[in-house]
Structure 1
Amino acid sequence: MDELKKTYYIDVGNGQISQSSTASTWSFKIQANDEEITQLRELFDQNYSTEWKNFFRAHVPYVQYHYDRENDDYDNTTQQVYGMIYKLGDDEAKSHIESMDILPEQS
C-alpha cells in the first residue's frame, strides 16, 4: 500500500525540509511519503555530523582533501541526497540536477 505523498520544499545547503513554500528559501520541490522524508532527513543529519568531523580534521594540516575519508563520506551522502531529490522531485528539480551532472550515469 502506497503511503500518501505530500509536497515538501528542500534546501540542500542547510539541510532544511519544509511543507511550506514561504517559510524559508528552498531549491527543490518534491513529493514524498513519511518514510522517504525520514530517509532524506537521515542523510542530512549524516552530512551534518560529517561536517563536524571535517571541521576538526581541517585542523590537521598533513591530511590532504583527497586522502580524507570524511570528505569522501560527505560527497557520497550528498550524492545520495541529490539522487533522492531527483527521484522524488518535480520536472524542474530533475532538470536542475541533470544540469549539475552530479549523479552517476544511469544504465
Structure 2
Amino acid sequence: MDELQTPEPDRKTYYVSVGAGQVLEDPEAAAFEFAIHANEAELDKLQELFAETQDADEDEALSFKGNPMVSDTPDNATYDALLMDIYRMLHELGTYETKRHIESMNIL
C-alpha cells in the first residue's frame, strides 16, 4: 500500500518524524521521515513509545557520569530498545515506501 492509496476505514494516514518524536496528520506541518496508516489504539501506542523514549533519553542525560565515549550503559540500552520498538511499529503500520525505507536501514 503506498501513500496515495486510501487506508482501511478505521485507519488514518499519519506522518512520523522519529528524531522529533512527532506524529502528524498534516504532511505540510513539519518535516517527516515516514508515512503510516494507524487506528486510534495504534496511534496511542506509538505516541506512548515516543514519550517513553524521551523519558529514557532524559534519564540518560541527567544521570551522565564518566566517559562520554561509552554508550553501552543500562539507560542507553533502554533507549535503544524503545527506539527499536518504534521502528518495528512503523514498519508494521507503514506504507510500502516506509517499509522499504526501514528495511533498507538494516535495523530490524
Contact map agreement 1:3 1:33 (CA 8 A) in 2: no
Which structure would you say has the larger RCO, counting Cα contacts within 8 Å and 6 or more residues apart?
2
Gaps of 5+ in 1: none
Correspondence for 1:99 = 104
Correspondence for 1:16 = 22
Name the CA distance, whole Å, in 2 between partners of 1:102 and 1:78. 10
SS at match of 1:65: coil
Map 1:9-48 onto structure 2 (within 5 A): 9-48=15-54
Gaps of 5+ in 2: 1-7
Correspondence for 1:75 = 80
Contact map agreement 1:4 1:33 (CA 8 A) in 2: yes
The structure with more helix, counted as a fraction of residues = 1
Deviations 1:41-76 (A, max 9, x none): 000000100111111222x1169422x111001000
Name the CA distance, whole Å, in 1 between partners of 2:33 and 2:79. 20
Name the CA distance, whole Å, in 1 between partners of 2:71 and 2:19. 20
Name the CA distance, whole Å, in 2 between partners of 1:79 and 1:51. 14
TM-score norm. by structure 1 comes to 0.88
% same residue: 34
Q: What RMSD in Å do the two structures reach over aligned CA positions? A: 1.7
Residue 40 of structure 1 and its aligned partner are, at CA, apart by: 0.2
The alpha-carbon distance between structure 1 residues 78 and 16, as it changes in their structure 2 partners (threshold 3 A), is same
